[in-house]
Structure formats: structure tokens, C-alpha cells
Structure 1
Amino acid sequence: RLLPDEHIYRNLNQIVCIHEIKPGETQAGFREEMEKLYQTVQKQIFHRNKTTDFQIGIGSIVNGYGDLKKSFKDSKKIIDYMDMIRYLYGDKNISVADFSKLGFFQIFEKIKSRDELMEYVPESLVKLYRHDKEHDGELIETLQAYLDCDKSANKAAEKLYVNYRTLSSRLKKIKDISGIDFKNSAEMLAVRNGIVLFKMAETL
């Protein structure tokens, strides 16, 4: 009823929609339609007092039915990476994700070994990961919040629900353990990308 002109297939926990791109239709326009669909379905779920986490994954555009399997796999992959997408865009409420938006991270999604993927994560982050694992710490989470807040310690402290002194202490520990230079823009880019790769590795 919501998508009268589409090919719809359903099973217990997923709905598959095959959409034929029409002349003049843009990918942005289709994504907007999916956003509207998501809002409609979420309202129906809410009215039924359900807590289902409904997500929409948009696969890659393919030519012909022969490549539909690839697009379907891509749509499932992007849903697996939903937490990573939310981090990339700084919006924890994102529930509609497009595989094409992975950008150069599509290169890494082809890697199926967690250890191999971790080889691309900066050593500074690996050190923090080891420390967190050994001491049940929160340094990577703190680093991510700090970067998400444009390196504002006050905003990061608010986001993590800790006081400024605690946040400052964690940042000092991050510097001491990892050697990260927060003033180096190139290193900051590598660290941000590394956090994304780390999240991808966690899904393997």
C-alpha cells in the first residue's frame, strides 16, 4: 500500500523492495522517498506500541536483474554498518542509509578478516584499544566524543555526562598512551578514518 508501483518481497524480519529508476529520477529524490517511507512506518510502529528498530538500506544501482543479488547484498551490508554511518554523519538517529555514501570505505568493506582490516587502523588507536580492553577503559569513546564536538572539551564532557576535570584527565591519558597530536590536521583525519575502520572491524 505504501509502495504501490514497486516489487515487494517479505519474510519474517525484512522487506525487500526492487525499485526501477525512472527517466529523470535522481538518487537524491529516491532517498527522500525512502526517508518519507521510514517516517510513515515508524509512526505505525509507535502507534502499535512496538519497539522495533526499523532501518532501510539502499543497495547499489545495477543494470538488469542479473545483478540484483549484488544490490541486495550491498543493502544488507549498509544496515550492518548503520552505527558507523551514524558516526560518520554525527547523527545517531539516521535509519536510512545508502551504500554509495560509504565513499572510499567501500574499498575496506571487501576485507573479510578483522585482523587484516585492523592493519589499516593507525597504531595510535590500536594502543588505545588495547588499553581499553585491558583496563575496561573508555578512551576510544572519549576520543570519538572529543572529535565529534570539534575538539571542545566542555561539549565532549557534556556529551559523555562527565565533569570537565574527568574529561581533561582522559585526554591527557590519550595523549600519553597514543602520542596523538591534536594540532596535526592530517593525523586527525587519519584518526577519524581509523575510528570508522575500527567500527567496521567490530562487525566482522
Structure 2
Amino acid sequence: MKHSSHLNYSYKDYIDSPEGLADSIAETLGCPVTIEDANHRIVSYSKHEKNVDEARIATIMRRKVPEHVINGLWKQGIMAKLFESDQPIIVKTIDSIGLGHRLAVSVRKNNEILGFIWAQTNDLSVTAEHLEEMKEAAQWVSHHLLRQQAKKKKTEENRKEFFWQLLTGSLQNPAEIKRLAKKFHMNLQGQLCVAVFEFTEDMSQAVERHAYYLTETLHQTRIVNRIFDDQQLILLVRTDNKEDANEMNQAFIREFTQKMKERLNFEDLKGAFGLIYDSPTLISDSYKQALKVLELKEQYSAGLQHVDNYQDLGVYQFLNELSSLQKRENYKNDALTNIRTYDERHNSMLLETLKVFLEKNSNVHQAAAHMHIHTNTLNYRLKRIKEIGNIDFKDMNQKTMLYLDLLIYENEQEDL
């Protein structure tokens, strides 16, 4: 790294174009430089030099920082420091992600992160003057990125309107959808679905920044578009292979929620996605389904704790409708009523036993293990259940109705 005077004499030439911006900074600092936007996509990078590390090479080849490098920087606390402060930091070698010595600084406007500058210093010592030069470089890069943001702002507003049209189903003309998708560079080919994350806290700017950042840096899925609505983050997700889509979406939901918990201490963040369709005219259906999953997860938290896909709701899809219908018709299940009355009189657990037995698909050994009782004890209870409720466990129709009525009854008890 070489010493130099102040930088601004040469940076003015590159505010409108990123070309040469990194070269100008690299020439001043005397080492390779990479400029990234807030989501780790390359804005500009300097000419190659000797001893360039693996992380820099992979970033330039992909035009974006590899996910394992980003994860490594978070685990080492590097990214947290860059998010928290506008001061340059010295980063020591991290062999596990192929990263050599670095001098790094966040590029920002007030508290908003616009991007990052990374200078590969190798083994050269870093002085106070170098740190000051990095701070000044960040100011000039900030000017460039702000100008780029201003150009995109109007386009983004129109893009959001188009996205809401798709989510609400108010736009159904395939030709018009295709035209607008091309105009806003939204790839609507392949398999599409909507994912929704629901936050319990109000969506502060810091939360939005981290959420947006994660949707850009997690690589399992392709995010076509995103929008924040009150306490929800709504995403349009695309994949080319329908067979792998559900698995990929589930992995994305779980990793996103896990990383938000790790980085912002969110303990109660729920995510869900609707069915996958191959037509953009059905995006609104997927959106409604994702919202339905979130609603039912809140309502039936015990039974749906690990469900995040509309496809996996099973009978829970219809419980609220069945409950409403039963109330209108003054319906009651006599078998459950008799068993419940018996439990109340004898302080027994027959109703709970029945539910576990049905949940375990009538498997005596699994049900007994779940309840931590002997199989003989379970068989005795089942015998009493059959007698009191006049139940035939070989009748699939009767067992199905019993299970549905049990779920509805439990939900009604929670509402009391």
C-alpha cells in the first residue's frame, strides 16, 4: 500500500459511471479494490494484480460475492461492524472462505447502507492515513450510488404497482403482463409462488434493510420481486424445476427466519408460501394461500408449528369452514361429547388419548411412546373409548370425522 495525498482530485470523473472508479481508488491506495452495492453485487473492480485471493476471484467471476464468503464474514462479526459504523476496519485473513487481508468500509448516506469498498492489503501495514483515504473514497462512491438510486426510484415505484396488480389479481391479461414484465425486467417464466414473512415488531428501516439484504444474498431461490406491507415482507419466488421447488422454498423460509433470529434476535418470525403455478395470472391465488397458512399457523399453533407450505396444511385448510357450518347446523359429535363428559367426571384422559391415537395413524406403539405410557395402558383406554363413544376404529369415515371434530373443539376451547 502506498501513501498518497487526498483523493478527490481524481474521483470526480467517475461519479456518473462506475467504470474506472475502483481503479482510481486502487491507484491511490496501492492495492486491488472492489466496490459492491448493499447486496454484494459488484459495482466496479480494479485491474488484476499478483497475489489476488480466492474470494476476490470468485466475486469477480460471479459479479457477486459468493454466499459462503458472506456467511463467513457474518460469523466472524465483520459484516456486523460494517453495518454498525462508517469507520474503516481491518480484516485479517480468513482461510476458510479464501479471504486475504482486507481494509473495508461501508458506503452510506446517513444510516442507510449503500454499498461496501474492499481493498486487498495482503501483508502490508495499514496506517492512519490509509484509513482516512478509505473514508474519503467511501464518500465519493456514495455520490455515485446515490445518483444510481435516484434513476431507479421512479422505475421501482411503477414496478411495485405492477407487483400489487399481480398479487391482487387485478391484472389478468397475459399479453399486458408479459409486456410489463419485460419493461420492469421481471422474469415470470417457469414456476412461480408467493412467500410471505410476518413480523411481530413494526418494520423499522433497520429490519427492512436486513430483510432485503437476506433476500438478495440467500441463493437457494430467485426472488423476482419483493414488497413490504405493514408487518409483512411479500416475495415473488421463481424456480425452473417444479419438482425441486417445494423443497427449495421450504429451505429458503427456514434459513431466512433462522438468520433473522441470529442477526436481529427475532424469536417469533413466521414464514409461509402458497402453491406453485406456471402462470403469472395465478400469482394472486398463491398470495392468498400464503396468507391463509400464516392465519392458520397462528390459530392452530400446536398442529402447524412446522408447516410453512399451503400444500402441507392437509385438513387444516377446511377446519374454519367446517366449524362455521357446524355452528349454523347446531351440529355436535355425540361420541366426543360422551367421552368428554366421562373425562370430567372421572378426571381421566380419554379425549387426549383418542387425539394422539388418531394423530399417530392408529399406531398403538407410537401413541403409547408419545404419551409415555405402556401399550397395555393405552389398549385399556382405547377399549373404554370404544365403549363410551360407541366407536369403531376400523371405520375410516368415523375416525376422520372424530379427528376433525377434535381439532375444531380444541380451537374453540383456546378461544374461550
Q: When the two structures are aligned, how many residues end up with a matched partner? A: 192
Larger Rg: 2
Q: Distance in 2 between matches of 1:25 and 1:31?
A: 11
Question: Could you tell which deviates more after superposition, 135-144 or 178-187?
Answer: 135-144
Deviations 1:97-116 (A, max 9, x none): 42x55466544424675971
- Pick aligned residue for 2:302 from 63, 83, 86: 83
Query: Match of 1:77, SS?
Result: helix
Equivalent in the alignment of 1:91:
none
Higher strand share: 2
- Pick aligned residue for 1:57 from 272, 278, 288: 272
Within 5 Å, give how 1:136-175 maps onto structure 2: 136-175=347-386
User: Using a 3 Å threshold, how does the CA distance of structure 1 residues 66 and 30 change in structure 2: closer, same or farther?
Assistant: closer
Within 5 Å, give how 1:181-200 maps onto structure 2: 181-200=392-411
Contact 2:293–2:308 under 8 Å retained in 1: no
User: Using a 3 Å threshold, how does the CA distance of structure 1 residues 36 and 133 change in structure 2: closer, same or farther?
Assistant: farther
Equivalent in the alignment of 2:252:
36
Contact 1:118–1:197 under 8 Å retained in 2: no
Equivalent in the alignment of 1:74:
292
Q: Distance in 2 between matches of 1:190 and 1:107?
A: 13
Query: Match of 1:56, SS?
Result: strand
Equivalent in the alignment of 1:124:
335
5+ residue gaps in structure 1?
87-93
Equivalent in the alignment of 1:89:
none
TM-score, with normalisation over the residues of structure 1? Answer: 0.65
Q: CA deviation at 1:3?
A: 1.6
Contact 1:85–1:97 under 8 Å retained in 2: no
Equivalent in the alignment of 2:233:
16
Q: CA deviation at 1:43?
A: 5.4
Query: Match of 1:96, SS?
Result: coil
Q: Distance in 1 between matches of 2:410 and 2:376?
A: 28
Q: Distance in 2 between matches of 1:27 and 1:79?
A: 25
Equivalent in the alignment of 1:7:
226
Higher helix share: 1
Q: CA deviation at 1:2?
A: 2.1
Q: Distance in 2 between matches of 1:36 and 1:68?
A: 17
Deviations 1:64-88 (A, max 9, x none): 99989956752432222343346xx
Question: Could you tell which deviates more after superposition, 184-193 or 56-65?
Answer: 56-65
User: Using a 3 Å threshold, how does the CA distance of structure 1 residues 71 and 164 change in structure 2: closer, same or farther?
Assistant: closer
Contact 2:274–2:287 under 8 Å retained in 1: no
Contact 2:338–2:388 under 8 Å retained in 1: yes
Query: Match of 2:302, SS?
Result: helix
User: Using a 3 Å threshold, how does the CA distance of structure 1 residues 156 and 74 change in structure 2: closer, same or farther?
Assistant: closer
User: Using a 3 Å threshold, how does the CA distance of structure 1 residues 155 and 106 change in structure 2: closer, same or farther?
Assistant: closer
Contact 2:323–2:408 under 8 Å retained in 1: no
Query: Match of 1:17, SS?
Result: strand
Q: Distance in 1 between matches of 2:330 and 2:323?
A: 13
User: Using a 3 Å threshold, how does the CA distance of structure 1 residues 23 and 36 change in structure 2: closer, same or farther?
Assistant: closer
Query: Match of 1:182, SS?
Result: coil
Question: Could you tell which deviates more after superposition, 142-151 or 35-44?
Answer: 35-44
Letter in 2 for 1:58: F
Q: Alignment identity in percent?
A: 20
Q: CA deviation at 1:143?
A: 1.2
